Structure 1
Amino acid sequence: MLASTDVVPAEVDELDPDQRIALEACVIAAITWCTPQGEARARARLLMECHGRFMRAWGVHGKGASFSDFLERLCKAPVGELLPGPGSWSKLWDVRLLEDDGTATPVLTRLAMEASEQAQEVPGMGADLRHLHSVLRALGKLPTGARLSRITAEAVQHAVFRALQQAGFAAYTEGRKALVTRPVMARRALARHAHLVDLGVYTAISPMRQFAGWWAWCPFCQWTLRAVPRGRQAADLRCEDSRHVERGARFRMSLQDGQWRLAPAGGEIRAMPKLQPVEGHVALSYGLWQWIVLPGLLEIELKERAEKAGADVRLWPYGDSYDLHITKNGVTWRVDVKTWADPQGIAERMRGDPEGCAGLIVVIPEHLGGYTGLLVKVLGPHGARVMTDVSLIGEVSRA
């Protein structure tokens, strides 16, 4: 299964118009199907609307499905079997939208963030989308009335970081680090970060990430775990990042002797989270977590690893220009970290940057190493180097 960062606009763009319409209908239907929040009649209406769009997309191909067959396909079939027309080379073709237990895959959550305005009708997901929409609009990245469709990591990062810079370099560095290391805060703690309060990036914890008035954090990224109810007295809690889940960020919450308790559900846990009351806490939404927290964690980790290798490191030395300035024995590395697998988007943004990418090293996580060749082909002629985080630290160690 692909991680949430591995389904990208570039792969969706390979689909023809009918396939895109069918995919969007399936995405909204699947996220609605597996989300318990919301009034039953409204959820049924949205599912039927999605089925109608799905049928229209399949029209000329003559292989539509009844409503019950449509729901069954959502639960069991890979994306390729949901779309009309010819097959595709894309990895997207082989992934599923729902797990065997009926819960959302990371791929589904990622695609839902890029779907049309219909995604804003889905309980929980709609709250996240509306918040991100209001943040971007308030920071001047979206005109009033604009729809949040096919949002991009670069737009989110650029808007938030530029707004932080207006408070000065010290406040920028402090604020950016706070976003990365404290994606959930008590309201009282947030009040001490005036520049973050002004940004409005923290909001109430999503209904999709709480159960019975409680939430818990991922031991790896500190963000809210997603809650999947298992009846009225239990829920499964897990991180939205599949790699964190594989390492043990999955738990079972249950009612025992009148108290809610949390127990690990497998994997190696370095720090057991505690249940916290939803009341009094605020969190970043999904898009801000994915595009600010996850890359920020890698940036901070690279700083620590490079320093252990004997280098001098400055984190975010010129604000939004690049992420790490590393020097050792007269050698300098200007590093820009990218953690989402969108080589086309990364390349287009960097080629259009007026400051250029000459002399930059674009670093991607080791698990995305398969994209190195494509990024080298596109960015190499413009003077950028591309490598994984492991390769970078190896190069710094040898210097």
Structure 2
Amino acid sequence: MSAVAGTAVVVQELDGDQRAALDACVVAALVLSSSEGEAQGRMRLLMECHGRYVRSFGVLEQAPSYEVFAHRLRGSRVAELLPGRPKESVLGKVWLLDDEGMPSSALHRLAVEASEHGHQAPGIGADIRHLHSLLRAVGMLPVNSGLSRISGETVQHAIFRALRSAGFEAYTRGREAMVRTPVLTRRALSRSTALVELSAYIGISPTRQFGGLWAACPMCRWTMRATFRPNGVVDVECEDERHSRLGAQYRAEPTAAEGWDLVPCGELRAVPEMLPVEGYVALPYALWLWVTLPGLLEVELRDRLVALGAEVRLWPFGDAYDLHVTRSGRSRAWRVDVKTWADPYGLAEKLREDPEGPGELCFVVPEHLRGYLPLLRRVVRGSEARVLTDGDLVAEVKRA
């Protein structure tokens, strides 16, 4: 499991002062790493962040001056920025800005998972405000509730409940569309009544475009982040840490003909097409994070099993689990719950909360998390549940 993936749980373990300090650091880092907004407004927000940061230190610990605060945001690990400096925390492995002031893969995630003021910040604020409007529209947030921390479970429940109201077929089509096509043309979106009514797609964020263009990650097909360097070159890479490591990172260089060349910087040599911002809409960050990314393995696994001749239903019985798999002429069935990142504690909590236990569920994790199998299997010991990798499941269905 990546350090970024575990931040939500760790943030809940911080005390109130540490959470307030983290909030101030996240918003300030977003302001420093973005050129959006007027200089005066940006400075006012930075000073407000520093004021909240100072108050979080109380009277027993000396808070740094604004100059030191702004300097430490660059290159410091998150745990080092907080009062009390929490030890042995995943926050000691992630940073907000690099030494050049460029944003990390953790920054936007912390903005939606840990910040009560992220809606103010350039780059992600519009996405957060849109998400809150969407949650209010489907009845998940009271009208007078403040903009506060968001959980992935809340977002998934709200989106899936809204899609289910259109009927199971529309639900399945809409959810699969949000997985397969996190970016759509406005014309394609207009053909999906359920997605139009949901209002999940919005214009492409300025932080994901360069020269009126955008490029999709070859793995998840969402808009890659565009980070402008002082020399005029733009770093273009996927927000997902694993996709970026696997090669979804590029360099956009301006050409003499007022165009752009996209040059691969990782192992992937295929270059995605640069498309005009005009005419396209995309899921906001949180929906990509909590709907698209988890759904990628579910949909891919369905396709692989169908290719073997299996009959597969996605998200059956009101989304009781992810895949219901059968083989023609065989009595055996597989009830599959896909876990895209290995959280043994979250899985244990799920089992404790279910009075009937997991039954004969197969918990499936990606092949690259095979090392977590012994730990996860200890969690489900004593039940009828099993834990497999996606490769194990495909092989088992093939043999049946």
TM-score normalised by L of structure 2: 0.89
Residues 249, 269 of structure 1: 8 Å contact kept: yes
CA separation in 2, counterparts of 1:255 and 1:37?
A: 21
CA separation in 2, counterparts of 1:391 and 1:355?
A: 26
Match in the other structure for 2:164? 165
Map residues 1-399 of structure 1 onto 2, 5 A cutoff: 2=2, 4=4, 6-85=5-84, 87-231=86-230, 233-269=232-268, 271-308=270-307, 311-328=310-327, 329-340=330-341, 344=345, 348=349, 351-352=352-353, 357-368=358-369, 384-397=385-398, 399=400
Q: Letter of the 1:16 partner, please give it.
A: D
Unaligned ranges ≥5, structure 2: none
User: CA offsets per residue over residues 182-240 of structure 1, 9 Å max, x none?
Assistant: 11111111111111101100111112111232211111111111111124843211110
Q: Which moved more, 1:207-216 or 1:302-311?
A: 302-311
Q: CA deviation at 1:101?
A: 3.6
Residues 2, 107 of structure 1: 8 Å contact kept: no
CA separation in 2, counterparts of 1:194 and 1:108?
A: 34
**What's the secondary structure of 1:259's corresponding residue?**
coil
Residues 347, 379 of structure 2: 8 Å contact kept: no
Residues 139, 159 of structure 1: 8 Å contact kept: yes
Compared CA separation, residues 340 and 81, structure 1 to 2 (3 A):
same
Compared CA separation, residues 88 and 311, structure 1 to 2 (3 A):
farther
Q: Which moved more, 1:199-208 or 1:320-329?
A: 320-329
CA separation in 2, counterparts of 1:270 and 1:396?
A: 34
CA separation in 2, counterparts of 1:390 and 1:60?
A: 55
User: CA offsets per residue over residues 249-291 of structure 1, 9 Å max, x none?
Assistant: 1222232123322322322336422222212111100010011
Q: Percent identity?
A: 53
Larger RCO (CA under 8 A, 6+ residues apart)? 1
User: CA offsets per residue over residues 344-384 of structure 1, 9 Å max, x none?
Assistant: 55555665468863332232334455665665566656754
Q: CA deviation at 1:333?
A: 1.9
Residues 226, 237 of structure 1: 8 Å contact kept: yes
CA separation in 2, counterparts of 1:353 and 1:107?
A: 32
**What's the secondary structure of 1:289's corresponding residue?**
helix
Q: Which moved more, 1:360-369 or 1:92-101?
A: 360-369
Q: CA deviation at 1:30?
A: 1.4
User: CA offsets per residue over residues 80-119 of structure 1, 9 Å max, x none?
Assistant: 2112226322222222222344222112221111233311
Residues 179, 292 of structure 1: 8 Å contact kept: yes
**What's the secondary structure of 1:144's corresponding residue?**
coil
CA separation in 2, counterparts of 1:119 and 1:125?
A: 7
Q: Which moved more, 1:130-139 or 1:312-321?
A: 312-321
The root-mean-square deviation of aligned C-alpha atoms, in Å, is: 2.7
**What's the secondary structure of 2:141's corresponding residue?**
coil
Q: CA deviation at 1:307?
A: 3.9
**What's the secondary structure of 1:117's corresponding residue?**
coil
Unaligned ranges ≥5, structure 1: none
Q: CA deviation at 1:331?
A: 3.2
Number of matched pairs: 398
Residues 204, 281 of structure 1: 8 Å contact kept: yes
Q: CA deviation at 1:340?
A: 4.8
CA separation in 1, counterparts of 2:385 and 2:395?
A: 18
Residues 96, 103 of structure 2: 8 Å contact kept: yes
Q: Letter of the 2:340 partner, please give it.
A: T
Q: CA deviation at 1:398?
A: 5.0
